Structure formats: structure tokens, C-alpha cells
Amino acid sequence: MTALELRELRKTYRSRGRPAVEAVRGLDLGLRSGELLGLLGPSGCGKSTTLRMIAGLESVTGGDILVGGASVTGRPAQERNIGVAFENYALYPPLTVAENLAFGLRARRRSLRGDVRRKVAEIAERVGLTDVLDARPAGLSSGQKQRVSLARALIREPDVLLLDEPLSHLDAAQRDTTRRELKRIQRDLGHTTILVTHDQEEALSLADRIAVMRDGVIQQLGTPYEIYDSP
């Protein structure tokens, strides 16, 4: 089953007095259910724009986005079940970690009762945040903030998970640990995932397939072995 499909996806940014930027120019891609695709490519090639369009955080200039076979193009973000952990997707400072996670479930009330409390505890345990559930974002390390952002994306049991440089703020040792954790989470939960990364090791250890983007299109697509072994 194709869990996520992009058909001829396009994005042109137009602003007054500036030349139009064709950030994504006819991108075709299909992910099968449970697959983790590593998305690589130089800065400015259109990776973030692609993720934002899938999430519904950016309008589409052309083409179609299908989740589980149904088009979500033009639907608002709230109507898509897409989990996003973006570098600049800030946590709410006044809320505790637990409350930020509950927000991922769209819990209306801040009180962490019943089901919400159970899910928050479960996901916190999974990503190693149990000890900081009552802390506020300002008191966390950047690694912990990234975990909160990941947990908030996971808690909703999304149809598709989008991770933009999830290990970027970590030092080498933390990155190693977190990479292993991500791998375990992926194996246990089996989300259909796109992971944007610059890190070859991250891509090699986590990705089922790798797509290399350049100038708004996918230039190469294959297993990590095929991509890194090709001249």
C-alpha cells in the first residue's frame, strides 16, 4: 500500500518586486506503509518546502498529495494526521513538557486526566522524558527539546511522520544514542516517515531508501547502499 504519494508536486514562491522562486518543480514520490525515507540534498534544494506542503503548513502551487490513497491537497493542517518535528517548530514556553505533549493530542483542557495522562506518560517513557514532564521548555537541553518535539509528533499516532534534522542540536555522543532510539522507535511503531538529514550516517543507519533532491526535484532514489556506492 502506498501510504504517502506525491504527484507532480510544485511550489513557486512569488513576492512583489522579486523574481519568483521555483522551490519544488514537479516532484514524484511514493512511500509504502512503514517505510522510512531519508531526504538529502544541498541547502535550498526544496526539502523543507516539500515537508511543509505535506504537513499542510504551506500551500501547493501544483500537483497532488495523497495519504493512504486519498488526496489531502488543499486541506488544512488540522485535517491531516501528519506528525511533524521541525527544528523551528517551537514548543510553547508557558506549558510544561507534559502539557506540550497533551497539546499534540489537541487536549482541550490543560488538566492531564485519564486517557491523555496515560498517553503522555507512555510516549514520555518511550523517548526518555519521564523525568522532565513537569519542567518547562526553557529548562531543557536542546537535545531534550528535540525529544519533546518528536514525542509531540508521535503522540497522535500520525499517518505520516515528518522529521527535519531531528538530531541537529545534539553532540556526537547524544546523537549516537538518539539515533539508536529513533531506530528502535521506528521498529516498534513503524510509522511511514520522511527524515530530512545532512548526516550520512543517520541516513545509512535509519533509512530504507534515500532520495537525493536537487533544484526542486528528486535526482536519485534508491537504497542507502545504491546511493552511497554509486559514483
List interacting residues with ligand ADP (CB under 6 A). 13, 21, 23, 41, 43-49, 77-78, 90-92, 103, 106
d(CA 159, CA 17): 39
Cβ-based nearer residue to ligand ADP, 72 or 170 = 72
Q: Smallest distance, Å, CB 135 to ligand ADP?
A: 16
Count of H helices and E strands in the chain?
7, 10
Q: Smallest distance, Å, CB 173 to ligand ADP?
A: 27
C-alpha cell at 15: 513576492
d(CA 125, CA 21): 43
Q: Smallest distance, Å, CB 6 to ligand ADP?
A: 14
Cβ-based nearer residue to ligand ADP, 139 or 225 = 139
Cα of first residue to Cα of last residue in the chain, in angstroms, is 32
Cβ-based nearer residue to ligand ADP, 89 or 181 = 89
Cβ-based nearer residue to ligand ADP, 78 or 230 = 78
Residues 6+ apart with CB under 8 A from 50: 6, 9, 11, 24, 27, 39, 213
Q: Smallest distance, Å, CB 187 to ligand ADP?
A: 25
